Structure 1
Amino acid sequence: MQQPSATDDPEIVYERHGDGQPVVLLHGGMAPREYWTPVLPHLDRYRAVVPQRPGFGTCRDDLAETSSDEVLPGEVDYVHALLDSLPDDANPVLFGHSFGALTAIEAATDLDVAAVVAYEPAVLPADYREDADLARRMADLVDAGQRREAVKRYVEQVLHPDGVDDLDAWLADWPVWPECVDLAEEVVRMNRAVERYELPERLDVDAPVLVLTGTDGPDFLRESARSVHGALPRSRFVELHGVSHSGPSEAPERVVAAVDAFLRE
């Protein structure tokens, strides 16, 4: 059953579904919290906590002035505030997708959580990051009044890097299109943050981490998932055959089965 937020902070907005150990679901950069709708029925053993990230429907008047260096720390602060609103004995799991996965890992460096699940964290390999210019190309299109084209560039590079026969037809069937066009500026800020993020040799996360990836996603994200796995002191790496970067919403039963097996241990 869906329940409203349990906090009085207007910037901390979330839904609760079910009972049990809380699993905090952090969505990525191209969809609001409704991204997790296909996943929720498979998390019936847990209490799913589904927040709305800053800039994706919450009241953040300062976002327009936010620099790319402040985006990830701001997301981490948001997770801290969210977990502070949960009961003291919550023992939460952080489950993030893409930029939400990177946020979950960074937040867990100084949070006491039971575990972290990271599906293809938004981390760029060093050689790929040097030439990355998606944020600039998107920003140019937004400035030119071509918001839809800006978001399409993101879809082409991140969701369909190998191309798709009829992108417009695919977008017409995409549940979050065209509403996600409203997120264009936030996605530009997020991409700038991703392009500047450098993976350290070691990520100081005490909690066990499950790093997930799919064989049909972008090669650079699969490479980065393995690098993140290697930088974590307590990590398991699982690759799902035939699944893309949209794994949690595309194959929720398989993804949750991997998560459930990990958490049971």
Structure 2
Amino acid sequence: MSYADVNGLSLWYEVHGSGRPLVLLHGGFGAAEMFAPVLPALAERRRVVAVDLQGHGRTADIDRPLRYESMADDVAALIRHLDLGEVDLMGYSLGGGVALRLAIQHSALVRRLVVVSAPCRRQGWYPEVLAAMAAHDEQVAERMRGTPPHELYARIAPHPEDWPALWAKSGDLLRRDYDWSAEVAALAAPVLLVFADADSVSTAHAAEFFGLLGGGRRDAGWDGTGRPASRLAVLPGLTHYDIVRSAALPAAVLPFLTTQVREPA
């Protein structure tokens, strides 16, 4: 467990296991602890580097808005700081957006990308989810006191009093429109998309996202030669909120990371 000074930020990270690096990026209002239920399975096969993003967990906030793009630059700077070379990258929810931007902005650093429960455009979230995100502010932060995310933040954050500010800055981020479809279609690295079958991201968008990566366009053929380099996993019986705790997640992710896939032409 340590800190790296990158882009004016003291970015916290922890390392588990050995082997090819796998960088983990948590969801909103969380920290590396979000991956605790699946970390042992991942660390058995990989050198796992779990990061606390700007203003989250043990990484104190700085005078800068929360943006997917700048947080992606932070993680890219950490990868270079640790001299990890080309990494595998997995992000969940907020971290999925950051991971996707990192693969777009710093493609040379990413060997394979796993995006868990995150869309490539804002309208991929269900309308009721978008409405809830748009309402994030200091008042909602007060109502969230005493919940597990707040209890974790109060226990590990360098400045626990910043809880309301985190919600205000997160609301500002989540109200901003984005559509990265064209950049997704240009990605060279193989991508695994993982969604729950009762996710906060619509199943229609999951299929659309996969289509941008070359998936769902044709039959793979009897020998599989028509299979795209990227993959789609829809995990049954799960939601956006429990997918990151399920043993089904590493069961889907590890074969993608460890099995040879056809690289895109």
- Shorter chain as normaliser: what TM range? 0.7 to 0.9
Structure 1 residues 260 and 27, CA, compared in 2 at 3 Å: closer, same or farther? same
Question: Residue 85 of structure 1: which of 69, 81, 88 is its match?
Answer: 81
Alpha-carbon RMSD: 2.9
1:227 to 208, 212, 225: 208
Return the letter of the residue paired with 1:197: D
- 2:235 maps to which of 240, 243, 253: 240
Is 2:51 the partner of 1:55?
Answer: no
TM-score, length of structure 1 as denominator length: 0.74
1:228 partner amino acid: F
Query: How far apart are 1:8 and its partner, in Å?
Result: 5.5
Deviation at 1:250, TM superposition (A): 2.3
1-side partners of 2:50 and 2:230: how far apart? 24
Which has a greater percent of strand? 2
The 5-angstrom pairing of residues 136-215 of structure 1 reads: 136-139=134-137, 142=138, 144=139, 147-149=141-143, 151=144, 171=147, 174=148, 176-180=149-153, 183-202=163-182, 203=184, 204-215=186-197
Name the aligned partner's letter for residue 245 of structure 1. Answer: H
Question: 1 or 2, which has the higher helix percentage?
Answer: 1
Letter matched to residue 232 of structure 1? L
Say yes or no: does 1:116 pair with 2:113.
yes
> How far apart in 1 are the matches of 2:123 and 2:76?
27
Secondary structure, in 3 states, of the residue corresponding to 2:178? coil
In structure 2, how many angstroms separate the alpha carbons of the residues matched to 1:103 and 1:258? 21
Displacement of 1:48 after TM fit? 0.5
Q: Please list every run of 5 or more consecutive structure 2 residues that lacks an aligned counterpart in the other structure.
A: 155-159, 215-228, 261-265
Structure 2 CA distance, aligned partners of 1:86 and 1:131? 36
Shift in Å at residue 6 of structure 1? 7.5
Counterpart of 1:98 in structure 2 is 93
Q: Which residue of 2 aligns with 1:5?
A: 2
- 2:196 and 2:129 map into 1 onto residues whose CA distance is 24
* More divergent stretch after superposition (5-14 vs 70-79): 5-14
Distance 1:24 1:12, change over 3 A: same
How far, CA to CA, are the matches of 1:241 and 1:214 in structure 2? Answer: 6
Distance 1:21 1:12 in 2: 21
Query: Which residue of the other structure, out of 226, 244, 254, is the alignment partner of 1:249?
Result: 244
Quick check: 1:6–1:85 contact (8 Å CA) kept in 2?
A: no
Q: Cα gap change, 1:221/1:27 in structure 2, threshold over 3 Å: closer, same or farther?
A: farther
Does the C-alpha gap of structure 1 residues 111 and 128 become closer, same or farther in structure 2, counting only changes over 3 Å?
Answer: same
Specify every segment of 5 or more residues in structure 1 that has no aligned partner in the other structure, as ranges.
153-167
Amino acid across the alignment from 2:197: T
Kept in 1, the 8 Å contact 2:133–2:174? The answer is no
AA paired with 1:84?
A: R
Work out the CA distance in 1 between the residues paired with 2:129 and 2:46. 41
Match of 1:74 in 2: 70
* Conserved 8 A contact 2:90-2:115: yes
